[in-house]
Structure 1
Amino acid sequence: MPNAVLGPARSFRVLGALAGAALLVALGLLWLLGSALRGAPAPQPTITILVWHWPFATQPPELSSDTCARYGVVRCRLTTDRSLLASADAVVFHHRELQSRRARLPLAQRPRGQPWVWASMESPSHTRGLGRLRGIFNWVLSYRRDSDIFVPYGCLEPREGTAPPLPAKSGVAVWVVSNFQRRQRRAQLYQQLAPHLPVDVFGRASRQPLCADCLLPTVAQYLFYLSFENSQHRDYITEKFWQNALAAGTLPVVLGPPRATYEAFAPPDAFVHVDDFGSARELAAFLTSMNESHYRRYFAWRERLQVRLIGDWRERFCAICTRYPHLPRGQVYQDLEGWFQA
């Protein structure tokens, strides 16, 4: 009889022990799962950049959901939908439209703490109206290396594959210019060079404009391209250097910021700088006396590097997302004009 009574009790104790063990195992698994979840990085939210007005356009381009992904920037959305002002992570304003007053700042509707980005790829000589923008913008997007969002006109990146041969040359020097003003240093230097160096001039200024598809094939036929900037300012190196010369396969003769600035972007033997010569006549003599082997040394960089042009505003604006996590919150440009003119 005692054994009959104790049998069921012992069974209950065994079942209880098994249930307790199962509970402990379940709790352990839940703890491990929780630890794994806590250790896994949280998914990053998509950053929305509102472009208040598209640069130099009455209608913006199509902005699909994968626009920035095409430029290697993920979780980044560009939009021109102004109804999203209250929810956008940042709003970018292009200066030319502010300067011409084609667009106005929505100051009264600005959400508290929302970062605003001032964008311009023009030089200070061609930028007006900055004085009325004091204490408004948090970040700057420009070609200046000290910008919050630094976007050059171009860059050199490692080459993939074999470098193409240099184009055949039939001319000496070429210059493409649309806005010719005698007071500009580039115009004065050209006039000093012309008596000593054969220079063919294209563009609206010479009434010989080149179509978009004609530019590079035309320039490529010349030994030298006059990469003369319309004004000399810090870091101001435009498509005249990157596209019209390096990408075309001709040797740029540069007038712009100092040599040290160009060397921050390209090898020192990838260009000829006008500041290295005491006069235009000395520069012309150097260029015309160059033999083929000397000339080809200026293109040694092409074996390992290639030009990447950064001219699309979509790519420029997507760069805001790349920098967004690292940009200072609470920063305000109290004197944007003073900063840009420095």
Structure 2
Amino acid sequence: MSSAGCSPARRLRSWGGLAGGALLAVFWLLWLLGSGPRGAPAPQATITILVWHWPFTDRPPELPGDTCARYGMTHCRLSANRSLLASADAVVFHHRELQTRRCGLPLAQRPRGQPWVWASMESPSHTHGLGRLRGVFNWVLSYRRDSDIFVPYGRLEAHSGPSPPLPAKSGVAAWVISNFQERQQRARLYRQLAPHLRVDVFGRASGRPLCANCLLPTVARYRFYLSFENSLHRDYITEKFWRNALAAGAVPVVLGPPRATYEAFVPPDAFVHADDFGSARELAAFLAGMNESRYLRFFAWRHRLRVRLLADWRERFCAICARYPHLPRDQVYEDLEGWFQA
């Protein structure tokens, strides 16, 4: 048999090999097209956050399915229905109800691997019973910047357009106080300021309470507001700074964390810090003797920024979903009290 050509059987095998290779190439191309960037993305799963007891009330608000979408967080569902304990992606417990024993922890029914979130916006001075919670919680939601879910009382955010006009001023300094205790540092500083500075005091402690809608218009008439925290702790900057002063259009005079902490949130010339003065008398002289041009410099931030208050517990709890994919599932706070008191 001549070796110069191929037999029919051999030619068929050659063509068969070529066809098989072409078929494999087609399958490979189809696979690439199906798995490439043009393929439809997998639908994102909805994260369910169960709120075991709504803060400060036995009647939680209505929580429709789009609750978190209102705050810019999609695929996030809030619920206060305890029957979802077995299926919830995370369960959040507000400490005040644990502290007062209005609710307990369902430890016996806890699903394996389910993250539990401890939530509190109070300072360590008003937080008790943490020793009972060793080894229970995986994540923390609080005003502390090192929290797993960091939720401040407020923040400045960019805005466009003209800034709102400053309210007309008729007084120097105001303070709203409901719980006046002489042992607190804020009470001592006020006592030292009062002989040198006219401070108009409102609130239950002074016998001049303000209705909920009266506070901001009242404070707005003053140049300065005493944003004195009830206790001095790491990162503890509350509505006394964000709402009562900045949102009202008054310059906050702060007693709280160090100046550097405030400057992490607002420009350094947006407030007056008590620590910058050697005595209360020096602070009073600085406030009382300020001219108009110097005073207006405290509001330079209003040309590009505005105050955003974060006071709604629905928004705070929805924030868990934003952090959920990034938090460690195996983390446990073995000494929650030690961490929070630090």
TM-score by length of 2: 0.91
Q: Does the 8 A contact of 2:73 with 2:322 survive in 1?
A: yes
Amino acid paired to 1:319: A
Q: Is residue 96 of structure 2 the alignment partner of residue 96 of structure 1?
A: yes
Q: Report the alpha carbon displacement of residue 208 of structure 1 after superposing the two structures with TM.
A: 1.1
Q: Does the 8 A contact of 2:196 with 2:284 survive in 1?
A: yes
Q: Report the alpha carbon displacement of residue 245 of structure 1 after superposing the two structures with TM.
A: 0.3
Q: d(CA) in 1 for partners of 2:294 and 2:26?
A: 77
Q: Report the alpha carbon displacement of residue 188 of structure 1 after superposing the two structures with TM.
A: 0.7
Q: Is residue 105 of structure 2 the alignment partner of residue 105 of structure 1?
A: yes
Amino acid paired to 1:100: T
Give CA deviations for 1:221-270 in whole Å, capped at 9, x if unaligned. Answer: 00100000000000000000000000000000000000010001110000
TM-score by length of 1: 0.91
Q: Is residue 68 of structure 2 the alignment partner of residue 68 of structure 1?
A: yes
Q: Where has structure 1 moved over 6 Å in runs of 4 or more?
A: 23-26
Amino acid paired to 2:44: Q
Amino acid paired to 2:72: G
Amino acid paired to 1:45: A
Q: Report the alpha carbon displacement of residue 44 of structure 1 after superposing the two structures with TM.
A: 1.3
Matches within 5 A, 1:79-158: 79-158=79-158
Q: d(CA) in 2 for partners of 1:48 and 1:133?
A: 23
Q: Is residue 314 of structure 2 the alignment partner of residue 314 of structure 1?
A: yes
SS state at 2:187 partner? helix
Matches within 5 A, 1:251-266: 251-266=251-266
Amino acid paired to 1:129: G
SS state at 1:299 partner? helix
Which residue number corresponds to residue 249 of structure 1?
Answer: 249
Which residue number corresponds to residue 8 of structure 1?
Answer: none
Give CA deviations for 1:46-100 in whole Å, capped at 9, x if unaligned. Answer: 0000000000111000001000000000100000010000000000000000000
SS state at 1:306 partner? strand
Q: Report the alpha carbon displacement of residue 337 of structure 1 after superposing the two structures with TM.
A: 0.2
Equivalenced residue count is: 325
Q: Report the alpha carbon displacement of residue 161 of structure 1 after superposing the two structures with TM.
A: 1.5
Which residue number corresponds to residue 303 of structure 2?
Answer: 303
SS state at 1:298 partner? helix
Amino acid paired to 2:158: P
Which residue number corresponds to residue 77 of structure 1?
Answer: 77
Q: Report the alpha carbon displacement of residue 330 of structure 1 after superposing the two structures with TM.
A: 0.4
Q: Does the 8 A contact of 2:33 with 2:39 survive in 1?
A: no
Q: d(CA) in 1 for partners of 2:38 and 2:86?
A: 32
Which residue number corresponds to residue 267 of structure 2?
Answer: 267
Which residue number corresponds to residue 9 of structure 1?
Answer: none
Q: Report the alpha carbon displacement of residue 31 of structure 1 after superposing the two structures with TM.
A: 3.1
SS state at 1:224 partner? strand
Where does structure 1 lack aligned partners over 5 or more consecutive residues? 1-19
Q: Report the alpha carbon displacement of residue 24 of structure 1 after superposing the two structures with TM.
A: 8.7
Q: d(CA) in 1 for partners of 2:284 and 2:85?
A: 55
Q: Report the alpha carbon displacement of residue 38 of structure 1 after superposing the two structures with TM.
A: 8.9
Identity %: 82
Q: d(CA) in 2 for partners of 1:38 and 1:308?
A: 39
Matches within 5 A, 1:303-342: 303-342=303-342
Q: d(CA) in 1 for partners of 2:229 and 2:35?
A: 58
Matches within 5 A, 1:103-252: 103-252=103-252
Q: d(CA) in 2 for partners of 1:28 and 1:233?
A: 62
Which residue number corresponds to residue 15 of structure 1?
Answer: none
Q: d(CA) in 2 for partners of 1:285 and 1:96?
A: 41
Q: d(CA) in 2 for partners of 1:258 and 1:228?
A: 13
Q: Does the 8 A contact of 2:220 with 2:249 survive in 1?
A: yes
Alignment RMSD (CA, Å): 2.0
Q: d(CA) in 1 for partners of 2:57 and 2:34?
A: 52
Q: d(CA) in 1 for partners of 2:333 and 2:41?
A: 34
SS state at 2:137 partner? coil
Q: Report the alpha carbon displacement of residue 178 of structure 1 after superposing the two structures with TM.
A: 0.5
Q: d(CA) in 2 for partners of 1:204 and 1:75?
A: 43
Q: Name whichever of 160-169 and 111-120 sits farther off.
A: 160-169
SS state at 2:179 partner? coil
Q: Report the alpha carbon displacement of residue 212 of structure 1 after superposing the two structures with TM.
A: 1.0
SS state at 1:131 partner? helix
Q: d(CA) in 2 for partners of 1:108 and 1:286?
A: 59
Matches within 5 A, 1:36-55: 36=36, 40-55=40-55
